[in-house]
Amino acid sequence: MSDSWISPEARLGKDVRTGWGVVVHPGVTVGEGSRIGDHCVLGLPPAEGRAEPLEIGPGSVIRSHNVLYGGSRFGPGLEVGHHALLRHGIVAGANLRVGSYSDIEPEAAIGDYCRFHGYVHVGRGSRIGHFVWLYSLVTLTNDPLPPSHLTRPPVLEDGVVVCVGATVMPGALLRKGAFVAAGSVADGEIPAGAVVRGNPGTVASHVSLLVHPESGLRHPWTEHFADAYPAEARERIARLGAEIAASRRVLKL
């Protein structure tokens, strides 16, 4: 059960499994133990014909109907849903998860352990730290006067959370652990740990004040959700949580 086209110039590690209808172009390296789903296309564009290397770390799971261009590099444990598009010039750290229908545009830089849900659009050149969450339909824009040749990609520091349907405007700078509420628009510099609400968004509170009354759970999530990450990430998560919690003292509301 395999009818695929794998270039002899691609390098698939030990125990890599590929599905049906998979196309792997020259210059692609897939780390050992990875799985490539049906109807995926790996490698080639932009300058079709010339093969830019695509590196996918070991232990990755690329589900069906995904497109990953040549010219990008993903750390170990990459997980991609279905129908996603990861273009060229992306550099991503360990254990990135990209949801179905998400589109990461060229030259994005992404840290370790980031989690993107579905329909996420990461605009060209975005800079994203570690442990960042982007929920469904989040858009990171980059043109401050559309359409123009100007490009001002946003910067999202470690531990930022952007909720469903929110938009991050060109040139925005979201400091550590900033939280953008559902459907809101974040622009300019957002202080560490700040909660942004509304369109245009304004700083409404600090994340440590976000509480779920029924359960008593509160932000930052680093206290009660670290177990959702691999064990080797936990110490970094604890440090990040302490920094975000500490930012409350300096946030002027």
CB of 42 to a second copy, least distance (A): 11
Nearer to a second copy, 162 or 250 (CB): 162
199 binds a second copy (CB under 8 A): yes
212 binds a second copy (CB under 8 A): yes
CA distance 191 to 33: 41
Binding range to a second copy, per CB under 8 A, among 50-58, 71-79, 205-213, 241-249: 205-213
Mark 149-188 as b/e (b = at least 16 C-beta within 10 Å). Answer: eeebbbbbbbbbbbbeebbbbbbbbbbbbbbbbeebbbbe
Q: Token pair for residue 244?
A: 């975000």
CB of 139 to a second copy, least distance (A): 5
Exposed, middle or buried, 104 (CB in 10 Å: 0-12/13-18/19+)? buried
Nearer to a second copy, 216 or 252 (CB): 216
Nearer to a second copy, 73 or 224 (CB): 224
| Cis preceding-peptide flag for 147 (omega within 30 of 0) | yes
Binding-site member from 30, 114, 137, 178 for a second copy (CB under 8 A): 137
Q: What mask, x for binding a second copy by CB under 8 A, covers residues 15 to 54?
A: ----xxx-x-----------x-xxx-x---x--x------
Binding-site member from 101, 129, 186, 190 for a second copy (CB under 8 A): 101
- Measured in degrees and rounded to the nearest 5, phi and psi for residue 37 equal -75, 175
215 binds a second copy (CB under 8 A): yes
The residues pairing with 202 across neighbouring beta strands, listed in sequence order, are: 197
Q: What mask, x for binding a second copy by CB under 8 A, covers residues 146 to 175?
A: xxxxx----------x-xxx-x-x------
List Cβ neighbours of 133 (8 Å cut-off, separation of 6 or more).
114, 115, 116, 160, 161, 162
DSSP label of 105: P
* Strand 103-104 versus strand 41-42 pairing type: unpaired
88 binds a second copy (CB under 8 A): no
Q: Token pair for residue 116?
A: 């993107």
118 binds a second copy (CB under 8 A): yes
CA distance 107 to 135: 21
Interface positions with a second copy (CB under 8 A): 1, 3, 5, 19-21, 23, 35, 37-39, 41, 45, 48, 63-65, 67, 81-83, 85, 100-101, 103, 115, 118-119, 121, 133, 135-137, 139, 141, 144-150, 161, 163-165, 167, 169, 182-183, 185, 199, 210-212, 214-215, 217-219, 221, 224-225, 228
